[in-house]
Structures are given as structure tokens and as C-alpha cells.
């Protein structure tokens, strides 16, 4: 009986203002499967700032506790951790629910995996957990009506991607789903020039927060632990208010593509490239030798880098995620002010 309950749309959407106006809109059918927490639902209905957070960062990120929800709240916004809890796609997971996903184990879930992992509930069977990646989280956030999403590193075109075609689904998602993602760019072992080319083709807006005193200077698209990548960012933004205006303009134009706001790692947390280079080379080589391809590649490299650097990559990784989430919250607050 409990499981049958999951089929009832009203059980999952305590408020309806974020729904699309036409009852026949394709998003409505999906929304009936989506669980939105009462807090997130109420915040969205009242046009309060909400920040989406991904769950892959917890289930496959090898980072431990991050307190991202606290950071969002400290800045006056409501956090909405997205993921699939026992087969139920959820926006607004509690800390206990995330902890349960980590403890019991979760599949890594990008856009392609959402229906597969959610279908068990429709059969009245117990579902598995899915930690949603940037692409999976963007889909859930968009369905709920959340505009801003803070996270760590974006997936990209892998080196050799021109032959392996290993191009993260995060990039195509940015091309089709109107959510603004705040990240520290993507890892330096990915092919950053091709990643930016691909995002341009996808029609995804890419901009980097210009550091103080950058006026007139080229600003690099950041490479995660490093502020510089050697590849210039296609554009820059000066502050959260400008970012919010861009998000609002995209919405008013009705352009459905996503937007990427790159936030370089805080200077004091950055890891010198030479300190990481040997570990990166080893991790990437091992992943290839051992056959960690497809969606197993990124998690393997992340956990291997943690071991190879004796955990030294972790504080930098945490610092950048926290800085991105703070920035995302400030953008969401500015956006809410503009929409008042």
C-alpha cells in the first residue's frame, strides 16, 4: 500500500506553482514521480532563493562531509540536495537520507539513468539509490523549478575523447536544460580546450568570475585545483548580481540552454600543478590499463588521486566546493531580489 502511494502525484507535490501551466505539458507527467521536500516546495512557491546540490559528490566524490546545506542556509537560501532515494527521484534530500545513500551504496546517475532507477517504484518493487551527477541533478532541479546549482567540478571531454567519444553528459545537459551551474571549471586532466569547444557548440553559456584587479587581463577558464588552465574563458562576470541578471535574461528570452559560471578555487587553497602532475598521470594511466571507462572513469580517478596524494587533494577539493556553493547561494539571493 505504501508503495502504491508513490504513484499518486499529489503525494509528491505538496504545492503546484512550479508546474507548467498546461496540464498536457510533458514535464507534468514526470513531475508526478518527483518527490519535492515540503521545505523546498514552500520556498519555490514563495520565490525564495533555492540552491540545488548534487548527490554524486557524496556517493562517488571521495570527499566525506562537506556541510554544504549549512553554507547555503548561512547565505539565506534553501538547500535542495537532489538524488534518487530507494527508487524515488527526490529534490530536497535530508542529511540522514544522503548518509543512508552513502552507507547502502548508490548507482551513479546521469540523465540516462533516471527512468531506469525510478521504474521499480512503478512496479511496486524496492528501488535502489542513485547519486545524481551534474547532468542528473540539473534534470531534477529543472523539473522542480530550481534555477541555481552549486557543485565542485564539471565533467568534460576526456583526453583522447576525439576517438573514445568519452564526453561527459554534463556538457550536453548544459546545452538543453536551463539551470545555472557554479563549478570550479573542470579537472586539468580533462581536455579543457575541447570541453569549451563542445559547450559552445551546445549553446551553453560559459563565464568565469573575474578575480579582483583582473580588469583588461585575460581570465582563464579554471582547472579545478588550479586557477589557471592556459585556456581563456569565453567571457567573464564581475559579481553575483551580474550572474543573476544573466540567468534572468535567459529565462525572459525563453532560451532553454543551461549556463556555466566558473568560480576559480580560492587562491590560498589552490594546489600547485607540479604537486598534482605525477599523481594525475598515474591515476589516468591506471584507469586506462584497468579498463575504468565510461561512467566508472571519473570516480576511479577521484578515489585514486586521494590515495596517491595521501589525502592532500581533499582539503583543496572541499574548499572549492564550499566556495562554489556559497557563490551559488549569493546568486540565488540576488536573483530572488530581482524577481520580487
* Residues that bind ligand PSU in the complex, under the rule CB under 6 A: 54, 56-57, 60-61, 133-134, 152-153, 155, 168-170, 187, 295, 298, 302
Q: How far is the CB of 54 from ligand PSU (least distance, A)?
A: 5
Indicate which residue of 35, 54, 173, 240 is catalytic. 54
Residues in the chain: 340
Q: How far is the CB of 293 from Mn ion (least distance, A)?
A: 8
Q: Most distant CA pair in the chain: distance in Å?
A: 64
Q: Which is nearer to ligand PSU, 308 or 336 (CB)?
A: 308
Contact of residue 56 among ligand PSU, Mn ion, none (CB under 5-8 Å per partner type): ligand PSU
Indicate which residue of 35, 107, 108, 187 is catalytic. 187
Instruction: Give me 88's grid cell.
Output: 524515488
SS3 83: strand
Q: Which is nearer to ligand PSU, 35 or 158 (CB)?
A: 158
Q: Which is nearer to Mn ion, 37 or 110 (CB)?
A: 110
Span from 36-44, 45-53, 132-140, 164-172 in contact with Mn ion (CB under 5 A): 164-172
Q: Which is nearer to ligand PSU, 13 or 231 (CB)?
A: 231
Span from 60-68, 75-83, 125-133, 158-166 in contact with Mn ion (CB under 5 A): 158-166
Distance CA 198, CA 207 (A): 15
Q: Which is nearer to ligand PSU, 12 or 156 (CB)?
A: 156
Task: Find the distance separating the first CA and the last CA of the chain, reported in whole Å.
Answer: 42
CB 262, CB 156: distance < 8 Å? no
CB 142, CB 179: distance < 8 Å? yes
Contact of residue 187 among ligand PSU, Mn ion, none (CB under 5-8 Å per partner type): ligand PSU
Read off φ and ψ for residue 310, nearest 5 degrees: 50, 40
Would you call 187 a catalytic residue per the annotation? yes
Task: Find where cell 531506469 sits.
Answer: 116
Distance CA 148, CA 243 (A): 10
Distance CA 233, CA 248 (A): 21
Q: How far is the CB of 51 from ligand PSU (least distance, A)?
A: 16
Q: Which is nearer to Mn ion, 166 or 191 (CB)?
A: 166
- For position 166 contacting Mn ion by CB under 5 A, the verdict is yes
Task: Find where cell 580546450 sits.
Answer: 193
Q: How far is the CB of 59 from ligand PSU (least distance, A)?
A: 9
Instruction: Give me 135's grid cell.
Output: 547532468
User: How does DSSP assign 240-295, residue by residue?
Assistant: HHHHHHHHHHHHHHT----EEEE-PPPGGG---HHHHHHHHHHHHHHHHHTT--GG
Span from 57-65, 106-114, 159-167, 280-288 in contact with Mn ion (CB under 5 A): 159-167
> What would you report as the CA-atom Rg of the chain, rounded to the nearest whole angstrom?
19
Q: Which is nearer to ligand PSU, 87 or 188 (CB)?
A: 188
Q: How far is the CB of 178 from Mn ion (least distance, A)?
A: 23
Instruction: Give me 277's grid cell.
Output: 602532475
Contact of residue 54 among ligand PSU, Mn ion, none (CB under 5-8 Å per partner type): ligand PSU
Q: How far is the CB of 21 from ligand PSU (least distance, A)?
A: 31
CA atoms within 13 A on the CB side of 237: 23
Instruction: Give me 303's grid cell.
Output: 578515489
Residue with the CB atom nearest ligand PSU in the bound state: 153
Contact of residue 188 among Mn ion, ligand PSU, none (CB under 5-8 Å per partner type): none
Q: How far is the CB of 295 from Mn ion (least distance, A)?
A: 6
Distance CA 287, CA 304 (A): 9
Contact of residue 129 among ligand PSU, Mn ion, none (CB under 5-8 Å per partner type): none
Distances 44 to 47, 77, 79 between C-alpha atoms, Å: 5, 11, 11
Active site residue ranges: 54, 187
Query: What residues line the site for Mn ion (CB under 5 A)?
Result: 166
Amino acid at each position: 500500500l505504501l508503495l502504491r502511494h508513490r504513484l499518486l502525484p499529489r503525494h509528491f507535490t505538496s504545492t503546484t506553482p512550479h508546474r507548467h501551466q498546461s496540464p498536457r505539458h510533458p514535464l507534468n507527467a514526470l513531475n508526478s514521480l518527483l518527490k519535492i521536500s515540503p521545505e523546498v516546495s514552500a520556498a519555490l512557491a514563495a520565490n525564495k532563493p533555492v540552491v540545488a546540490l548534487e548527490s554524486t559528490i557524496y556517493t562517488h566524490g571521495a570527499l566525506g562531509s562537506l556541510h554544504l546545506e549549512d553554507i547555503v542556509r548561512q547565505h539565506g537560501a534553501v538547500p535542495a540536495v537532489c538524488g534518487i532515494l530507494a527508487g524515488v527521484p527526490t529534490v530536497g534530500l535530508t542529511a540522514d537520507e544522503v548518509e543512508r545513500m552513502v552507507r547502502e551504496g548508490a548507482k551513479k546517475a546521469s540523465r540516462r539513468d533516471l527512468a531506469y532507477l525510478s521504474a521499480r517504484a512503478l512496479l511496486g518493487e524496492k528501488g535502489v539509490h542513485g547519486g545524481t551527477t551534474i547532468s542528473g541533478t540539473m534534470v531534477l532541479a529543472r523539473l522542480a523549478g530550481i534555477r541555481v546549482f552549486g557543485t565542485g567540478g564539471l565533467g568534460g571531454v576526456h583526453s583522447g575523447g576525439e576517438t573514445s567519444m568519452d564526453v561527459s553528459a554534463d556538457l550536453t545537459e548544459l546545452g538543453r536544460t536551463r539551470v545555472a551551474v557554479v563549478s570550479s571549471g573542470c579537472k586539468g586532466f580533462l581536455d579543457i580546450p575541447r570541453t569549451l569547444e563542445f559547450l559552445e557548440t551546445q549553446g551553453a553559456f560559459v563565464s568565469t568570475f573575474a578575480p579582483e584587479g583582473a580588469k583588461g587581463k585575460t581570465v582563464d577558464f579554471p582547472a579545478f585545483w588550479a586557477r589557471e588552465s592556459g585556456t581563456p574563458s569565453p567571457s567573464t562576470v564581475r559579481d553575483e548580481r551580474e550572474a543573476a541578471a544573466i540567468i534572468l535574461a535567459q529565462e525572459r528570452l525563453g532560451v532553454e540552454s543551461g549556463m556555466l559560471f566558473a568560480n576559480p578555487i580560492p587562491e590560498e587553497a589552490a594546489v600547485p600543478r607540479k604537486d598534482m602532475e605525477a599523481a594525475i598521470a598515474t591515476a589516468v594511466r591506471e584507469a586506462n590499463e584497468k579498463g575504468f571507462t565510461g561512467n566508472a572513469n571519473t570516480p576511479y580517478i577521484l578515489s585514486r588521486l586521494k590515495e596517491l596524494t595521501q589525502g592532500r587533494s581533499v582539503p583543496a577539493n572541499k574548499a572549492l566546493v564550499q566556495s562554489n556553493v556559497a557563490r551559488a547561494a549569493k546568486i540565488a539571493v540576488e536573483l530572488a531580489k530581482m524577481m520580487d
